[in-house]
Chains A and B, each alone.
Chain A
Amino acid sequence: MKRLRVIEFEFGDAPFNMALDEAIMRSVGSGKSPPTLRLYGWDPPAVSIGYFQEIKEEVNLEFCHEKGIQVVRRLSGGGAVLHTPKELTYSFAVEANDPSVPQDIQGSYLKICAPIISALREIGVPASFRPVNDIEVRKRKISGSAQTRRFGAILQHGTILLGMDYSLLPALRVRAEKLAEKGAKDVAGRITTVAEILGKEVSHAEFSKILVRSFEDHFGAVAYSSDLSEDECIAPTLEERYRSIDWTFRR
């Protein structure tokens, strides 16, 4: 990979965030945009659910409504995630046949998570990969990713918990079976954040800078900041879908 386009950190609401990931993916997949790393945050807070999940099983809708937490269905599979404004979210899109990303799913998760692990280690967080798609510190999850492959592209997006607003965790309905398996009593007990590990806050801007450099190293690419291309500005029309009841409640 020669050049990596970076869409700099910005907060967005949930439907916008998911629509823009899709717009970028479509553009990259059709060869109109180069490989792209986008950094973003969620404001207001939101729950995103996986493509195959049943919304009423995963989300405490009443609590979300009360607290102003948005709910959005992702294009990617995987589990439900609570996104609070302290999280840094990334999305990484390449053409489906880009030689810098392995074709096998497990290998590709590892390849795209590697720069995140390096960046976390650089600031003193002893992170390691947990297959299939998590990054952990001392057995607690600090980052989770999900991939979708369509429109001629591979998109991987995921969380990096710089911090977390634990008071919003009741937004997720978590089954007892699932927690028992991972050896933790509740969700709060199986995640951790950069702020907790280091005992100080690391800003979105600060970590973004380190992360971009780490992606450059791992992909042997030169990163450059760029605006969205014209066809990526279709995000507002895609946004309609992510805001719609049909899409959100389809399962």
Chain B
Amino acid sequence: MERELVRKFKDGKLVKVKIVLEGGLIKDAKITGDFFAHPEEGIEIIEKELIGKDLCNARQAIESAIGGITLIGLRLEDLVAMVQECLDR
């Protein structure tokens, strides 16, 4: 099952979260858009960290991966909310 959510934030940045679910667990996650992340690999780390997680522990997965990553144009809270909404639908 594939779920996708696109959101535009007030500073104009566009973020898309795409999640592939299998048996209630995340099989694949992609976060795309015109935001900035320093270091850039941080986003890939979050995507990897999400694999195998479900609605209950997705937030924790993102929060544990986010340490040391600076996001511009995308707030951590918004990213967590988007992932949860994807899973919750």
**Considering only CB atoms and an 8 Å cut-off, how many residues of chain B contact the other chain?**
21
Nearest Cβ on chain A to B29's Cβ, whole angstroms: 12
Q: Scoring A residues 102 to 146 as 1 if CB is less than 8 Å from chain B, else 0, what string do you get?
A: 000110000000000000000000000000100000000000001
Partner-binding segment picked from B8-16, B50-58, B81-89? B8-16
> Taking A178-B8, A178-B14 as contacts, is the C-beta distance between A52 and B31 under 8 angstroms?
yes
Residues from chain A with Cβ under 8 Å of B36 in the complex? 76-78, 105, 132, 146-147
Q: Kindly report which residue of chain B lies nearest to residue A131, judged by CB atoms.
A: B11
- B residues with a Cβ closer than 8 A to A are 8, 10-12, 14, 16, 30-40, 43, 70, 72-73
Q: B11: which A residues are within 8 A, CB to CB?
A: 132
Does any Cβ of B come within 8 Å of A243's Cβ?
A: no
A80 within 8 A of B: yes
Query: Judging by beta carbons under 8 Å apart, are B34 and A105 in contact?
Result: no
* Chain B residues positioned under 8 Å from A150 (CB to CB): 39-40
Is B39's CB under 8 angstroms from A181's CB?
A: no
Give residues in A with beta carbon < 8 Å to B. Answer: 50-54, 57, 75-80, 105-106, 132, 146-150, 175, 177-178, 181-182, 251
Q: Which residue of A lies closest to B10 (CB)?
A: A181
Q: Is the CB of B32 within 8 A of A132?
A: no
- Closest Cβ of chain B: how far from A207's Cβ, in Å? 27
